[in-house]
Amino acid sequence: MEDKNVIQVRDLTKIYKLYDKPSDRLKEALGLTRRKRFKEHYALRGLNFRIREGECVGIIGVNGSGKSTLLKIITGVLTPTSGEVSVEGRISALLELGAGFNMEYTGIENVYLNGTMMGFSKEEIDRRLPDILSFADIGDYVNQPVKTYSSGMFVRLAFAVAINIDPEILIVDEALSVGDVFFQAKCFHKFEEFKKQGKTVLIVSHDLGSITRYCDRVLLLHQGNLLDQGSPKEMVDVYKQLLVHQEPVRQAEGQEGEGSGTWERWHDGISGATTIPKGEDDPSDVWQQPFQMNPDILEYGERRAEITGIRIVDDRGRASNVVHKGKPFAIKVRVLFHEPIQDPIVAYTFLNVHGTEIAGTNTMYEKMSFEDPSAGRECEVTFRQQMDLQGGEYLLSFGCTGFRDGDFTVYHRLYYACNVTVVSDKNTVGFFDMNSRVEIQELNGR
């Protein structure tokens, strides 16, 4: 059976006029000037793609790449400057908090308002109402004006309405980020049900773990252009290079694993990119590659030794703030010794976003010692391990310490030096995966 295209985008362009001051807009509207008083901003530029029935497609890109603008054009909220979008099927969209709701109405009244706008009769909404209220699970607040709701309650009700009006295409734009973890789990379970029913889901999110786990395909937007599309793993790999303003270099299809990739030129002319010409500068030199550090690092210490460089190296040998769960990775730390130091200790610690220490190690725990470094000597310490943390956002802190005259001494500490995003297609309970191997055996002989 031939795949059915439910969304087709052809040569889609959206241009906004940017005026320096409101009076320029007024003069142009009244025809009082012939001079062009605006600058053109291309939010989208010549996009072409199609989405097939039953696909779960993710859209990713750095801020300002045009993701939300694209969804608003697909759903009919915005009109394109040129090009065309064709949609086959009933769309239900959750674009942003507050869209389609009257803040003065109660939750129940907004359910009927939204259902009516989507073409349902009162009787049809009556039949769906129990499912909507059960999914939202906000209790008696459903009879209160929605202007009194918390953001979590609001998105619960909005999403419950969106998925229970029997859509053929569900579009969600970052709205789930305000829900608690249990509600998000319920929503993603619903996505799985939709996929099994052959419905189409389109998601915009910065949660790379969810994109990798639930999407069949990913579109990568950058500066209004469709940079590429492909498997979630491939596109996340390119996206994480854009985050550090590095020119995207993609590993050839089917070439996975450290040291086995084929480096290809991607796109020229990306703003702020670092060029790695093919056959020239070795891309494995991670100290020459861009890496995202915290601009507000908290640091202290005597500075008799100083941490001069930090890199996280992913399973493909590239400096990156994104690591895939289950893959090997390395943490590199460079230390410059300003004075002779006996038995220095170099350490790293993973913390969650609340600052709670989760895991870490140091050269003393790992029974690795320095030859007592002299003044002016610089050393590089490499910690190699497998990433077994659950998917999510983490912080890394570093330190160089030791014992001087029997007293513990901090030479240099860097708190919250950089972030680490762990991308996972399978999360378990807690912070770590136990990497269990499960066997099921029937004992009754049937």
**In the predicted model, what is the mean pLDDT of residues 388-416?**
91
Assess whether pLDDT exceeds 70 at residue 180: no
| Residues 66-90: b if buried by 16+ CB within 10 A, e if exposed | bbbbbbbbbbeebebbebebebeee
Residues in the chain: 446
**In the predicted model, what is the mean pLDDT of residues 197-221?**
86
Please enumerate in sequence order all residues whose Cβ is within 8 A of that of 6, keeping only pairs 6 or more positions apart, or say none.
Answer: 51, 52, 53, 87, 88, 89, 168, 169, 200
Assess whether pLDDT exceeds 70 at residue 175: no
Angstrom distance (rounded) from CA 348 to CA 363: 9
Question: Hey, which of 152-161, 183-192, 344-353 has the most confident mean pLDDT?
Answer: 344-353
Assess whether pLDDT exceeds 50 at residue 261: no
Residue 52 tokens, joined? 């097939």
Assess whether pLDDT exceeds 60 at residue 6: yes
Assess whether pLDDT exceeds 60 at residue 325: yes
Q: For 401, phi and psi rounded to 5 degrees?
A: -130, -175
Question: Hey, which of 17-21, 35-39, 327-331 has the most confident mean pLDDT?
Answer: 327-331
**In the predicted model, what is the mean pLDDT of residues 144-167?**
84
Q: Which fold has domain 298-423?
A: Coagulation Factor XIII; Chain A, domain 1 (2.70.50)
Boundaries of every domain in the chain = 298-423
Assess whether pLDDT exceeds 50 at residue 15: yes
Angstrom distance (rounded) from CA 139 to CA 32: 57
First to last CA, the chain: 37
Assess whether pLDDT exceeds 60 at residue 278: no
Assess whether pLDDT exceeds 70 at residue 153: yes
pLDDT at residue 63, as a whole number: 86
Q: Give residue 249's pLDDT band: very low, low, confident or very high (50, 70, 90).
A: low
Q: Are strands 328-337 and 305-313 parallel, antiparallel or unpaired?
A: antiparallel
Q: Give residue 177's pLDDT band: very low, low, confident or very high (50, 70, 90).
A: low
Question: Hey, which of 37-46, 133-142, 266-275, 327-336 has the most confident mean pLDDT?
Answer: 327-336
**In the predicted model, what is the mean pLDDT of residues 200-219?**
86
Q: Give residue 246's pLDDT band: very low, low, confident or very high (50, 70, 90).
A: low
**In the predicted model, what is the mean pLDDT of residues 31-52?**
86
Assess whether pLDDT exceeds 60 at residue 273: no
Give the range among 91-105, 133-147, 221-235, 291-305 with minimum mean pLDDT.
91-105
pLDDT at residue 225, as a whole number: 93
What secondary structure does DSSP assign to 75-99, as a single string?
A: TTSS--SEEEEEE-S-EEEE-STTT
Assess whether pLDDT exceeds 80 at residue 97: no
pLDDT at residue 179, as a whole number: 61
More confident residue, 248 or 375: 375
**In the predicted model, what is the mean pLDDT of residues 321-350?**
94
Give the chain's mean pLDDT: 83
**In the predicted model, what is the mean pLDDT of residues 213-236?**
90
pLDDT at residue 76, as a whole number: 87
pLDDT at residue 28, as a whole number: 77
More confident residue, 313 or 255: 313
Q: Give residue 241's pLDDT band: very low, low, confident or very high (50, 70, 90).
A: confident
pLDDT at residue 267, as a whole number: 32
Give the range among 34-38, 143-147, 219-223, 383-387 with minimum mean pLDDT.
34-38
Please enumerate in sequence order all residues whose Cβ is within 8 A of that of 161, keeping only pairs 6 or more positions apart, or say none.
Answer: 110, 111, 114, 115, 132
The 10s digit of each residue's pLDDT in 50-76 is 999 989 999 999 888 999 899 999 988
Angstrom distance (rounded) from CA 211 to CA 206: 8
pLDDT at residue 11, as a whole number: 95
